[in-house]
Structures are given as C-alpha cells and as structure tokens.
Amino acid sequence: MSLRAFHLLFIALSVVLAAFFAAWAAGQYQSAHDLTYALVCVMSLASGVGLSLYGAAFQRKTRRL
Amino acid sequence: MNIPYTVDERPDTGLTNGKLGIWLFLASEVMLFGALFSTYIILRVGAPEWPHGELNIWLGAINTIILISSSVTMVMAWASLKMNDWGKHRLFLISTFLLAALFLVNKYFEYSAHFATGELPSHSTFLAIYYTLTGLHGLHILGGMIVMAYLLGPGAKMWKENSDQFANRIEATGLYWHFVDLVWIFLFPVLYLL
C-alpha cells in the first residue's frame, strides 16, 4: 500500500472518529444541557464534512503521483 | 556495494526493499499495540467498575486535531517531493516536526496535571494502562521526530545524490507517521470518551 492510499484510509477513519465524537458530544448535551457540548457536536460534524471534502480533493489531485 | 532495490521494485515482491521493510516493521507494531489494546479490553471487562472523566477530553481532542493535521503536512511533504518542489517539501516536513513537538508539549501538560494530584500509574488499573498506552505512543512520536530531524538535517543531502531514493525514504517515514497517528485515532475514543 502506498502512502497515498494509507493517507486516504487514515482520513476515512478520521471522518468516522469525527462522527463518533459528535455523537458523544450530543449524548453529553442531552444529559448535562451544557451548550459547550452542543457547540462541540456541531464543530465535530463540520470537521467530518471538511475532512471528507479534503479526502475527495486529495484523491482527485494526487491521482498521478 | 550498493543496497539493491532501493528505487526499483523487486520482481518477486513488487515492492522496493525499503517499502517491504517498513511494512514488516509496521506489522510488528500492530502486534505490539494489539497486545496492549487486548490487555485494556480484558482489564476493563473484568473490572467491577471503570473510572470516567479522569482525563482532560479537551486536551485529548486538541492532540487529535494536531495529529490529523500532521498527517496532512506529512503527505504534502512527500507529494511536494514527487512534484520536485524542494522548498515546499522542507516547509511541510518542518511543519510536521513542529506539530509533533506540540503534541508532546500538550502531553507533558496533561501528565504534569496528573502527577500534581498524585495520579501515578500505581494509583489505579485505569491509570496504569493509560500511562502504558500513551507513554508508548509518545515514544513513537519522539522516534518519528528523530527520523524527521535526520531527514531535515544530514539526511537531506541524499536529494542531490539520489532523489528517487530520498523520496522513497520520505514515503517510508510518512507510512510510519500515519501508523502512529492511526494508533492515536483509536486511543483517543477508547481512553478519553468510552
């Protein structure tokens, strides 16, 4: 496996982690009603979307490497 | 005598010797961390109760962002070399090195806060496995920094002598670095969130 393929796998797992962290923060918000957790949930989801877009762009731009 | 197949792929493996070597090394690393993760699971399943909220989740989350960013800068350092852009390669490799250092600084503050309140490895089973896993991971970060420092310093002259072999060395370093980052991607939820 090349570094390019390993990086794509890593980014995919990072997206899963971002989704998990968002779910965790949502659970904390439901039990503690602390707005910090709601903010963390939104930021984590945004990070997941950002990482997905980055992964797609990376795959497209490094096809010839 | 030159080491064979540092640039060209071996006909029997389809890989350069360097890439085969780093993957064999990473396979041994999977076994090492796999054994420790298994230990964690066995200890946790067997424990009547498991502590929650003992770790600083925000410091752990910041360190996660730092390592994901460092994986991006590392792959960019390799991609820049492939596009013959030496300046950008240096910039991205130095960025990776600095992000790694920042991770260790954060870890130092995290450990210091625990030590200040007497939370040593002997304090509980949870802290014992926490220090073992994160300490070993931290040593791997340090090892990666030593390799990067060599490639930024005396090892960089290989670029002029054999650019393809140097690019392969950066790729092998990148594979190792991604593995170390991947371990953290599993460590963070397991130790800090669950």
Which residue is closest to B81 within chain A, CA to CA? A65
> Which domain CATH number covers B132?
1.20.120.80
pLDDT per residue over B90-139, tens digit each? Answer: 999 999 999 999 999 999 999 999 999 999 999 999 999 999 999 999 99
**CA B165 to mean position of chain CA atoms:** 22
Which residues of B are less than 8 Å from A20 in CB distance? 189, 193
Report CB contact under 8 Å: A62, B79: yes
Q: What is the pLDDT of residue A18?
A: 98
d(CA A12, CA B161): 36
Check pLDDT > 90 for residue B1: no
What total of structural domains would you count in chain B? 1
- Has the ipTM of the complex gone over 0.90? yes
Closest Cβ opposite residue B79 in set A11, A54, A65: A65
Is a pLDDT exceeding 90 seen at residue B23? Answer: yes
Q: What is the CA radius of gyration of chain A?
A: 15
Q: Is the pTM of this model over 0.80?
A: yes
Best CA proximity match to B81, nearest among B167, B181, B169, B187: B167
pLDDT band for position B190 (50/70/90)? very high
CB contact under 8 A, B79 and A2: no
pLDDT average, residue stretch B1-30: 92
Output the pLDDT for position A3: 96
Contact A3 B189 (CB under 8 A): no
CA dist., res. A35 & res. B16, Å (int): 52
Asked if residue B110 belongs to a domain, the reply is yes
Our CA-based measurement puts residue A10 at a distance from the nearest CA of chain B, in whole angstroms, of 7
Structural domain of B58: 17-193
CA distance B88 to B94: 10
Kindly tell me if the per-residue pLDDT of A51 is higher than 90. yes
Residue A65 pLDDT more than 90?
no
In this prediction, residue B95 carries a pLDDT of 98
B113 CA: distance to closest CA in chain A (Å) = 23
Give a yes or no: residue B8 inside a domain: no
Q: Is residue B182 part of a domain?
A: yes
Q: Where are the domains of chain A?
A: 3-61
